Structure formats: C-alpha cells, structure tokens
Structure 1
Amino acid sequence: MPFSCLKRMALGRSFLGACAALSISIAPVGLACAQEQRPPQTALTYSVFVHGLHVMNIQASYWLSDQQYGVAAQVKTTALFGLFMKTDLSMQAQGRFDGRAVEPEKFTTAGWSRRSMRRATIVYKDGMPEVSVLEPAETDREPVTQEERKGAVDVLSALIGILHQARSQQSCQGQEKLFDGLRLTTLSLQTAGTVKLPSGGPWDWGETGLRCNFVGQQVKGFHFSSDKSKLHNPQPGRVWFENIGNLGLVAVRIELDHPKLGRINVLLSSTPKQYP
C-alpha cells in the first residue's frame, strides 16, 4: 500500500520530518540534560497533508543551546486516515554540537507502525551508530554495514542540526547521512536565501523567511523484494524558517516531493509555545 511510504518518511527521511500535533493544546516533553540549567523548551504542532488530505499530526518539543540539544516528537495519523493505515510513534534524541556539526548521543523510537508494535534504540560511539534494540527484527532487508553507516545521524538530530545552523549562521549548507536502524539515506542541503513565504494551505504565517532546499535519497536498507526504481530516486524538498516572537527561527512549512505519494506538505498549525 503506497501510504506506508509516509511512515518511513516519519521514521527516517525527511520530513524527512520530515519528519510531529496530537492536539492544539500541548504539554512539553521531558528531556534529559547534563547541565543543571538548560534553555527554555519550545513546543510546536504540525499537520501533514498529502494531495490536500490531512493524514497526520506531529507534536514536537525541543531545547537547544550552543553546545547541547534535546528533541522529542510524536507522530500520529488522523482519526479518518488511521482507519486505513494507523501510525502512533514517539521518538526522542539528545546530543551535542561541535561547531556546525551535530553529534547525537542516543535516539529512541517506540509505537505502532506498519501493522506492528515497534521499538528501536540507537546509541552513538565515536560517530558510529550502534543499534542496541530493534523489535521486531527485519531480516528481509539488505544490511547496512558499519562502514556505510559511520557518521550517520538520526532524523531528529538532523532536523535540530538544520535549525541550529539556520539560527546561528542564517544558512543551511551541508550534507548528512541518516540511519534509522534499518535504512540509510543521504541528505544534501543548500541555502536559497530570504524569500517570500508561499501561500496556500489552512495556515499562513509571515511574509518572508529563510528558505532551505534539500534532497533526500535512500541508498541502502531496501527490502529484498521491493522495486527500487522509485524509492531509490532523489526526493527534493524545501523548508521555510520564520522569526516568530522571541523564539527565533522556527520551521513553518516543509514541502517534500515523494516519488510515490507526490507532494507532501508539513505545516506549522499553531503558534509555538515556550516552557521553562
């Protein structure tokens, strides 16, 4: 069923995450921090649309400083779409920054996806993601070797790294490898400058924002029986960041051109909140 690709996007591609609202009124997600004090936590809600159909909600919460970050998300299908293809996943990640580079320490995900309860934990040692938990095991996929996944990060860390660079340097240049425990995806980013925000959709924000173009492409971890012809294709997309109040730059709109689903829109659906 083609909509299963949307769950893969939520797990390990772009939004690639692309990419998490269970409700408009949200509570902050608890995240561990090695420091005694940390920056305020920001909570956001997003809605995901495919061909104009509202299919998912994303609740996200994060904090970040110049040295560290913590981020969590919950991805859940809407009630109507959930009758056909249910997803209810929670994810958390934490790590550090080394200049512009993001260095994750741990990533966890758990919940219902692809007709099964699933759980995964990835820990990072010297830039190497090691899968300590993967339930259920999927033996019908091509393996991703240690050498191939070395230096790869999880999708949440990749997203927070893009936000960190956008805030600190007003740019989003670079390349990343993403690994979710099963699939390996490459991600390239390029700054497109400050541009007019696109109109359309149920929510419009400001007039201008920082636009970043990206291209994601799965390179390993395909099902042995799958047809790679479409899933192997590059998936171009765009993200717009806008300055909102005292929160700084916030991602307000993400567009992804999926090879099977077509245009996927992820839209900020309410004003972000900040918690101490």
Structure 2
Amino acid sequence: MSFMLWRITLGLAFLAGPAAAEPWRASYAFAAAGITVMEAEVDLEIGGPGAPYTIETRTRARGLGTLFFRGEQVAHSEGSWRGANPLPRQHRSSGNWRGSPRRTLLNYTASGTPQVGLLEPAQDLERTPIPPEALPGTLDALSAMLKLSRQVRDTGRCEGQARIFDGRRLTQLNVTTDPVRDPAGGGQPSCVIESQIVGGLPVERPEDARPMRSVVHFGNPAQPGAPLLPIRIELASRWWGTIQVTLRQVTRG
C-alpha cells in the first residue's frame, strides 16, 4: 500500500467542512477484497484566520492486515493560517511497521522551508536526490490537504495542487473533480487525487515513480452539526489493488 497516499486521503477528513472551534473525530475501516486490514481515527481542530490548526491521524493494522503490516502509526501536524494558505509549524510521525520503528520530525522556518529534526532510520533505501531549492513552500501531507480541501468547501470542486515533503520523498499532488458524483454522497463532489514521487525515489524500485490515483467521495454524515466528510475512499495500492476505505463513526472530539 502507498502509505503516503493513505495519509494524504485521511487528511481530507473534516477539511471540507466549515471551520469550527470544536474538535471532531472520525473513524475509518480499510478493506481489501472485502476483508478489513486496517483502521484509522482522525482528530481535527481547524482554526480561523491567523489561528492555529492541529490534525492527528492514528492508524493500526487489523485482521488479515496484521500478517503483512504488523504495526501502527501516529501522524500529527500543526500550524496556522495566512489567508487561505496553511503555514505548517511542525509535523511529526512515529510508528512501528514489521517490527521496525520509524520516526520523523519536520520543523518549518518562517519562510516555509522544512528542516528535518529527526529521521529514523536515517537511511532506509538508496534514493534519488532532492534539490534543496525544491523544498521551500512544500507542505506535509496533512497540511497540504487543508489547502486543497478549501476548493471543496468554497467552490464545491476539488481543483488544486501541492508538493509534499515527508523527510524522504518529494511528491507532486494534483487534485481534480470527478465528473460522476456518487449517489450515496447526496450530490457532494468526488475528488480524484493523483500522487507521484518526483524526488527521493527508491533507486531499486523505479516503478514507484508511476502515478497513483485515488478517489475521495464526500457526503454529509447523519451526526448533527458534523462537517462535510469523506464517506468512502477508493485508495490506490501497488500490491493490494484498490483499498476501500469507509467512514464508520463520527463524534465530537
């Protein structure tokens, strides 16, 4: 599975709804061939103009997935707003996959350049270089979705672009509106997400440069006052085919 891509799509949770001070939590189930392999929770507080925002995702292998993933991961992003643009302050993630701990810490300068504070393991694979001049203005995956999802909230469409740096890879993200709307979404838009690694590509896996395509279907949960949410995600995977991600529950945080 493309772990970058599931983190990106989970970042869409709550982000198309109106900015609200109160926190919300959503839980999702991941299924391959109808069998649950993973579950995730998303917590979010969106600030207003100039106010801070925080996003946290917690993902765990479940069922058959424990035979292949055997781990869990927590990702957390925080920053503030400048107009319609998120300004990340810090992104951190930690997890244990297949018995190997993985941790990342990115701190952002005032000019928007990410600085790697921690990367464990320091060298996982031999990768293609990322030019230093390509890093200013990049976002972490969760903050990037704050920016892109405003297209959904403000216009009912999904068009947007961003470049994402996760400490190892530089990924180009392009989002467009699917012309076919999911009937279960009550007329809400579906977003087509194309993700492609453009730097930090594993040298021994050149096939990872192929674009990955996922579709996020938005809808209105039954929970009163809840924001517009992804109710279903068709998540691309290099080894599992398409992973079906389904909204299970929405609660106030």
Normalised by the shorter chain, which TM-score bucket? Answer: 0.7 to 0.9
1:44 corresponds in structure 2 to 26
How large is the RMSD of aligned CA atoms in angstroms?
A: 2.2
**Higher RCO, 1 vs 2 (CA within 8 Å, ≥6 residues apart):** 2
Deviates more, 1:159-168 or 1:67-76: 159-168
**Unpaired segments of 5 or more residues in structure 2?**
12-19
Structure 1-normalised TM-score? 0.78
Task: Give the whole-Å Cα distance in 1 for the aligned partners of 2:125 and 2:72.
Answer: 23
Please state how far the C-alpha of 1:162 moved relative to its aligned partner: 3.3
1:188 correspondence with 2:179: no
Task: Give the whole-Å Cα distance in 2 for the aligned partners of 1:114 and 1:124.
Answer: 30
* 3-state SS, counterpart of residue 208 of structure 1: coil
Distance 1:190 1:95, change over 3 A: same
1:55 corresponds in structure 2 to 37
Please state how far the C-alpha of 1:260 moved relative to its aligned partner: 3.6
Task: Give the whole-Å Cα distance in 1 for the aligned partners of 2:7 and 2:173.
Answer: 9
Distance 1:127 1:82, change over 3 A: same
Distance 1:114 1:65, change over 3 A: same
* 3-state SS, counterpart of residue 219 of structure 2: strand
1:137 correspondence with 2:122: yes
2:61 corresponds in structure 1 to 77
- Cα distance per residue 1:158-198 (max 9 Å; x no partner): 2333334422332221111111111111100112368234x
1:110 correspondence with 2:94: yes
1:274 correspondence with 2:252: yes
1:157 pairs, out of 118, 127, 143, with 143
What amino acid is aligned across from residue 185 of structure 1 in structure 2?
Answer: T
2:213 pairs, out of 206, 228, 236, with 236
Distance 1:43 1:175, change over 3 A: same
Matched residues, percent identical?
A: 26
Distance 1:139 1:89, change over 3 A: closer
1:262 corresponds in structure 2 to 241
Distance 1:84 1:119, change over 3 A: same
What amino acid is aligned across from residue 59 of structure 1 in structure 2?
Answer: E
Distance 1:262 1:79, change over 3 A: closer
Deviates more, 1:130-139 or 1:142-151: 142-151
* 3-state SS, counterpart of residue 173 of structure 2: strand
- Cα distance per residue 1:22-43 (max 9 Å; x no partner): xxxxxxxxxxxxxxxx700010
1:213 pairs, out of 192, 196, 220, with 192
CA contact (8 A) 1:167 1:248 kept: no
1:227 corresponds in structure 2 to 205
- Cα distance per residue 1:33-55 (max 9 Å; x no partner): xxxxx700010001112233311
What amino acid is aligned across from residue 227 of structure 1 in structure 2?
Answer: R
**Unpaired segments of 5 or more residues in structure 1?**
1-5, 21-37, 198-204
Task: Give the whole-Å Cα distance in 2 for the aligned partners of 1:50 and 1:254.
Answer: 12
1:119 corresponds in structure 2 to 103
2:16 corresponds in structure 1 to none
Distance 1:47 1:17, change over 3 A: farther
1:15 corresponds in structure 2 to 6
Please state how far the C-alpha of 1:115 moved relative to its aligned partner: 3.3
CA contact (8 A) 2:214 2:234 kept: yes
Task: Give the whole-Å Cα distance in 2 for the aligned partners of 1:165 and 1:94.
Answer: 20
1:251 corresponds in structure 2 to 230
Distance 1:235 1:83, change over 3 A: closer
- Cα distance per residue 1:116-135 (max 9 Å; x no partner): 11211001111211111112
1:66 correspondence with 2:45: no
CA contact (8 A) 2:185 2:219 kept: yes
Instruction: Give the 5 Å matches for 1:79-98.
Output: 79-98=63-82
